A and B are shown apart, each in its own frame.
Chain A
Amino acid sequence: MLQKADTNFGFAIAASLGIFFIGGILTTVAPPLIDKTWAKPFSNDDPSKGPTGQLKPYTEQELKGRAIYVREGCTYCHTQQTRTILADTKRSGWRGVDSPVSTPDEFVYDAPHLFGTKRTGPDLSRVGGKYDQQWHRTHFRNPRDLVPGSVMPPFPWIAANEEEFQAMVAYLQTLGRAKNWRPDNDYEK
């Protein structure tokens, strides 16, 4: 076979595409057909099965906020996934309560997905409800006023534009909220 691919133009093309498509199809088309949780929105009302709650589609305002998140490239420094690593559940936790790990069914309405690859700033998968609007406004104006040592750029044009700012905060407050994971329900607005 190797010899033939060496001299025969058509055979070389067919073989390199054929071999490529085996792995290509098995790893892209097959998995969502096998694992149904990739497409089914999270929903659980039985506390014995873990956190309860329901994933709701984004509102128009939240989608506007999400578009700003994409436009400003927030995802290049902030991941949105609490991984199956103990430290991640502690860091995403809040006030002594560990966060549940992220599951595929929490992201069904996300396009583009914002899982991220680099964590220059903290993970945001459970940030929803942790900080109130005033905190976010100050933080967008200049992150270092609230977090000395931060390297996040300031976003004065978001803080100054009321419509954009409201949309942005509305989106951030949804993050991680599908799972109702805080026992005291102490979410900030």
Chain B
Amino acid sequence: MADANAQDRATEIQNVTGSAPVVHEDITVKWFLLSSVAYFFIVGIVAVVIAAKFVWPELLSTVSYFTYGRMRPLHVNGMLFGWLLACDMALIFYVVPRLCGVKLWSEKLGVATGILWNIIILSAVVCLLMGWTSGLEYAELPLPLDVLVVVAWIMFGANIFMTIATRKYQQMYVSIWYIMGTILWTAFVYLTGNFATLFATGVNQANLNWMYVHNAVGLIFTPAGLALAYYFIPRSSNLPLHSHKLSMIGFWSLAFVYVWTGAHHMLHGPISQWLQTIAIAFSVMLIIPVWAVVFNLFATIKGHWHEMGENVPLKFLMSGVVFYLLTCFQGPMHSLRAVNAIVSKTDWIPGHAHMAVLGAFSFFAIAGTYYILPRIFRTELHSQPLAQWSYWFFMSGGLGFFVTLWLGGFWQGWQWNNPAIPFIDTVIALGPVWLVRFFSGILMFAGIICFAYNVMATALGEKKALAA
């Protein structure tokens, strides 16, 4: 793997087969990438508004479309599917043909998928603000849009699988398994969360819903994010992956362990105790795949940490790995009943969720974007300093957000567990926490502006010749 990672795949093919290097068109990549970055910016505005509503509850409160209960699902779905998943798909469209040494199976199909995806996201914005929602968390989109998502996912999956099936190398690099896993598991996880739930009620439906919610993160964003980390860390550092075998252990234990944990969202709740215990046991076991991955990536970069200074993609990637480790340590810990009794349902939870989705997986996606931009647009990145600024805005805003909500959430949980404190006093106590969270949100949004401007300026601005 050392050579495979250190060398450019195209030249390798030329050496091995004697045929001309593959020229990648990357039209699909550009479609997905630019639209995902646009949604990152738009939904970022929604994010700042709902954070402000905690501090100034009257803000925009006379317009039903902009009430908190409608904007929050827009924020969650917009960030997950409009930004992160679309950006992951762009990067997968970039990575897979290069790891397989062939062109993307069909650029036409890819572009059609990109257009369909945009139709879905724009319709979702309208539906959610109108209050047309299925009411199930993470699965709020109304049924017709769910069907379109399935169609788009099949188009995406077919394109990627056909590319892999026609690959020039027999051995599949780690990223390829993770990408195949993402596509297959997502199909079933999505069907469970959006279609199987139609035939269930009450606790049974909640159980299916949590299976979906948890695995949307665990079996969609985790394997997609790790596929990118496994590709872009060796790529942007020019170092070989530490251990191929360890990456296999990480992958197969993830495949087995993750799906069992859904019921940990209902600990102490009205769901069978034995199912809660199973979910706890498997949540603790998650430490195995996480540590296998994190050790492997840390060992890869060992002795080269200082290179993060100048190298923006590497900076985002390794910070993302650290956040991944932290968030996946928190997860098992607050699955334990004693800890859960304090943190569950508090503001700790959004702190935890944002570290996973923003701190780890969005950082991987941002890193990938910075890495591929000059390569797909065949120009230099518009501005290196601006890229550095985006990192520090995301980092300071993110840390401010996570840490404040953990402390605030823990404090809130303790207050709740003392019934002598009236509930409203526990709300008033959180006021300063929510104010700091709002300002941290502003910092993160500044990061989005620097990132999005840099991407758009590189894509649409004047092309500069690449140095050598």
Q: Interface of A with B (CB < 8 Å)? A: 2, 5-7, 9, 12-13, 15-17, 19-24, 26-28, 31-32, 34-35, 38-39, 70-77, 79, 81, 83-88, 90-91, 101-104, 106-122, 143-144, 147-157
In whole angstroms, what is the CA distance A109 to B200 when docked?
10
Q: Are B172 and A107 in contact (CB under 8 A)?
A: no
* A16 and B177 in contact, given A6-B248, A87-B418, A113-B209 (Cβ under 8 angstroms): yes
* A22 and B256 in contact, given A70-B133, A153-B68 (Cβ under 8 angstroms): yes
In whole angstroms, what is the CA distance A116 to B245 when docked?
41
Q: Are B135 and A9 in contact (CB under 8 A)?
A: no
Output the least CB separation between B139 and chain A (Å). Answer: 9
Closest to B72 in A: A76
Residues of A within 8 Å of B170, CB to CB, are 7
- Give the size range of B's interface with the partner: 35 or more
Q: Are B188 and A24 in contact (CB under 8 A)?
A: yes
* A38 and B171 in contact, given A73-B69, A117-B265 (Cβ under 8 angstroms): no
Q: Interface of B with A (CB < 8 Å)? A: 53-54, 57-58, 61-62, 64, 67-70, 72-73, 131-137, 164-165, 170-172, 177, 180-181, 184-185, 188, 192, 196-197, 200-209, 211, 219, 245, 248, 252, 255-260, 262-263, 265-266, 268-272, 275, 278-279, 282, 341, 344-346, 349-350, 416-419, 423-425, 427-428, 434
- For B68, B70, B252, B344, which residue has the most chain A Cβ atoms within 10 angstroms? B68
Q: Are A109 and B202 in contact (CB under 8 A)?
A: yes
Residues of A within 8 Å of B196, CB to CB, are 28
Output the least CB separation between A106 and chain B (Å). Answer: 7
In whole angstroms, what is the CA distance A9 to B263 when docked?
33
Q: Are B204 and A24 in contact (CB under 8 A)?
A: no
In whole angstroms, what is the CA distance A74 to B164 when docked?
45
Residues of B within 8 Å of A9, CB to CB, are 164-165, 172
Output the least CB separation between A102 and chain B (Å). Answer: 4
Residues of A within 8 Å of B416, CB to CB, are 87, 91, 119
Q: Are A118 and B73 in contact (CB under 8 A)?
A: no
Q: Are B346 and A119 in contact (CB under 8 A)?
A: yes
Closest to B206 in A: A113
In whole angstroms, what is the CA distance A126 to B209 when docked?
23
Residues of B within 8 Å of A152, CB to CB, are 57
Q: Are B201 and A107 in contact (CB under 8 A)?
A: yes
Output the least CB separation between A127 and chain B (Å). Answer: 12
In whole angstroms, what is the CA distance A108 to B205 when docked?
10
Q: Are A16 and B185 in contact (CB under 8 A)?
A: yes
Closest to B256 in A: A19
Q: Are A39 and B172 in contact (CB under 8 A)?
A: no
Q: Are B203 and A104 in contact (CB under 8 A)?
A: yes
Q: Residue B211 contacts which of A24, A32, A117 (CB distance < 8 angstroms)? A: A24
**Can you report 23 residue pairs joining A to B where beta carbons are below 8 Å apart?**
A5-B248, A16-B180, A16-B184, A21-B188, A23-B257, A23-B282, A27-B279, A28-B211, A32-B204, A38-B202, A72-B131, A73-B72, A86-B417, A86-B419, A91-B423, A102-B269, A107-B201, A108-B202, A111-B200, A113-B136, A116-B345, A118-B349, A118-B350
In whole angstroms, what is the CA distance A112 to B140 when docked?
10
In whole angstroms, what is the CA distance A116 to B210 when docked?
11
Q: Residue B427 contacts which of A22, A75, A120, A153 (CB distance < 8 angstroms)? A: A120
Residues of A within 8 Å of B256, CB to CB, are 19-20, 22-23
Residues of B within 8 Å of A12, CB to CB, are 172, 177, 180
